């Protein structure tokens, strides 16, 4: 059967069509307003139509769009310098998406060992429940059967162990291991925190064995958890890090951050991208940082995150037949559901709130970082109403029996 749309059918889209956005609100063509607690999957860090981002993009659009990486791009120099100054990194590579940022991390880690005379050292250890992207290499890194099935042989060199399993980890690392890659909090996997002790253990394991540590902060980075990067909570720095989503505020971009020593292995000609780091993306990325690095911004995210988490815990208490648990940090929060997470997301949508399902039957509550306290209360009111609809239908079922 052919559908009316000429687009690939690879997405299960809702029927909503949005016309414009204002802060944390999305407005449909027919004027319905939705409270956006999905942020385009943790992308719209500063909400919709943020005036500073709009003017930065407009200004750049009138000057210059694209020159390629055959030439210097001042916006890249500026953004690179700022990201390095506010992180463990010395060097930054600009790309277009999350998966590409992870690909760059994987390639840099392999090349680093190759340069040291160890070409056999190309395996990357990853963790069950991980998500690192949809390219041939990153589906192998993520290791999830549902994303690998039917796409040919799994790319070699990815070894997976259960998250937090120290024994399995010790057993799998060896002279073939180039790097360990981990999301400090699994996003798609269901807002699963990996724990400070575990991240510290990984750093030590890497140091003791000459292995590189890669953090995938594509979802957790750029202020989402109340720190610029989530690994700062654990006080553990990686050698390589992928970011994307929030840094573009809605403009497609990503970056690979690295220490000097690791970045040095990607010499001219070894890696590249046509679009990566174009002036439009750089204008927006720099504008996002202008806001996120403002005095007090991250503290506000942390404070609002604590407040929301507390309120969500209250919801869990009042709706034990619908919600089981609240998880996460800052404004990267998850509601573990008793009812199917997809159904809860649909019920929330009926009450004018957008959320995103994740693995482990979790619903992600990931609003723009600019959300106000008043709007946070509105989030809770709408989620409360959504949860109540299940109880009504459950009690109706009970009465019918």
Binding site for ligand PLP (CB under 6 A): 97-99, 102, 131-133, 183, 187-188, 216, 218-219, 244-245
**Does the annotation count 131 as an active-site position?**
yes
* Residue whose CB is nearest to ligand PLP in the complex, by number: 98
Identify how many contiguous H helices and E strands the chain contains and give both numbers: 13, 17
Cβ atoms < 10 Å from Cβ of 57: 18
Rounded to the nearest whole angstrom, what is the least distance from the CB of residue 101 to ligand PLP in the complex?
8
CB closer to ligand PLP, 60 vs 220: 220
Q: Pick the closer one to ligand PLP by CB: 218 or 371.
A: 218
Cβ distance to ligand PLP smaller for residue 135 or 196: 135
Q: Least Å distance between CB 188 and ligand PLP? A: 6
C-alpha to C-alpha distance for 2 and 338, rounded to whole angstroms = 36
As given in the structure block, the two tokens for residue 240 are 């390589």
Toward ligand PLP, which CB reaches closer, 50 or 224? 224
Q: Take residue 249 and report the two structure tokens written for it.
A: 């505020």
Q: Which one is catalytic: 34, 88, 131, 344?
A: 131
Known catalytic residue: 216?
Answer: yes
CB of residue 253 to ligand PLP, shortest distance in Å: 9
Closest approach of Cβ 138 to ligand PLP, in Å?
Answer: 7
**Which residue in the list 245, 304, 329, 336 is annotated as catalytic?**
245
Minimum distance, C-beta of residue 312 to ligand PLP, in the bound complex (Å) = 21
246 backbone dihedrals φ, ψ, rounded to 5° = -60, -30
Is 110 or 132 the residue whose CB approaches ligand PLP more closely?
A: 132
Token pair for residue 216?
Answer: 């995938």
The residue annotated as part of the active site, out of 216, 251, 297, 329, is: 216
CA distance 326 to 303: 16
Q: What is the DSSP string of 26-75?
A: EEETT--EEEESSHHHHT-TT-BS-HHHHHHHHHHHTT-----TTS--HH
Whether 58 is a known active-site residue: answer no
Give the pairing type, strands 240-243 and 212-216. Answer: parallel
Burial call 368-401: b when 16+ CB within 10 Å, e when fewer? bbbbeeebbebbbebbeebbebbeeeeeeeeeee
Residues with catalytic function: 131, 216, 245
């Amino acid at each position: 059967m052919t559908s009316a749309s000429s687009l690939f059918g690879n997405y299960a889209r809702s029927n909503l069509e949005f016309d414009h956005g204002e802060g944390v609100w999305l407005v449909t063509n027919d004027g319905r307003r939705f409270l956006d607690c999905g942020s385009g999957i943790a992308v719209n860090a500063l909400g919709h139509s943020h005036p500073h981002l709009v003017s930065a993009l407009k200004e750049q659009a009138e000057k210059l769009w694209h020159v390629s990486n055959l030439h210097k791009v001042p916006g890249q120099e500026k953004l690179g310098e700022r990201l390095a100054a506010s992180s463990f990194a010395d060097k930054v590579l600009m790309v277009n998406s999350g998966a590409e940022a992870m690909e760059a991390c994987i390639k840099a880690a392999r090349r680093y060992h190759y340069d040291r005379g160890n070409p056999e050292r190309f395996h990357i250890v990853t963790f069950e429940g991980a998500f690192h992207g949809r390219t041939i290499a990153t589906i192998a890194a993520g290791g999830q059967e549902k994303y690998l099935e039917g796409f040919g042989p799994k790319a070699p060199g990815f070894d997976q162990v259960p998250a937090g399993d120290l024994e399995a980890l010790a057993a799998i690392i060896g002279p073939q291991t180039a790097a360990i890659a981990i999301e400090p909090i699994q996003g798609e996997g269901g807002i699963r925190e990996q724990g400070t002790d575990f991240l510290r253990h990984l750093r030590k394991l890497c140091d003791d064995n000459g292995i590189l540590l890669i953090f995938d902060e594509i979802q957790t980075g750029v202020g989402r958890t109340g720190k610029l990067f989530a690994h700062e909570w654990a006080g553990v720095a990686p050698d390589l890090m992928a970011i994307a989503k929030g840094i573009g505020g809605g403009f497609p971009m990503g970056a690979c951050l690295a220490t000097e020593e690791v970045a040095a292995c990607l010499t001219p000609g070894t890696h590249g991208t046509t679009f990566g780091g174009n002036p439009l993306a750089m204008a927006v990325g720099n504008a996002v940082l202008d806001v996120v690095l403002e005095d007090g911004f991250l503290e506000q995210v942390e404070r609002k995150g604590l407040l929301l988490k507390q309120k969500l815990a209250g919801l869990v208490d009042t709706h034990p037949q619908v919600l089981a648990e609240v998880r996460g940090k800052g404004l990267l929060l998850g509601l573990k559901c008793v009812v199917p997470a997809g159904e809860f997301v649909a019920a929330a949508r009926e009450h004018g709130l957008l959320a995103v399902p994740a693995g482990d039957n979790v619903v992600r509550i990931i609003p723009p970082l600019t959300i106000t306290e008043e709007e946070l209360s509105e989030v809770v009111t709408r989620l409360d109403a959504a949860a109540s609809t299940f109880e009504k239908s459950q009690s109706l079922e009970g009465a019918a029996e």
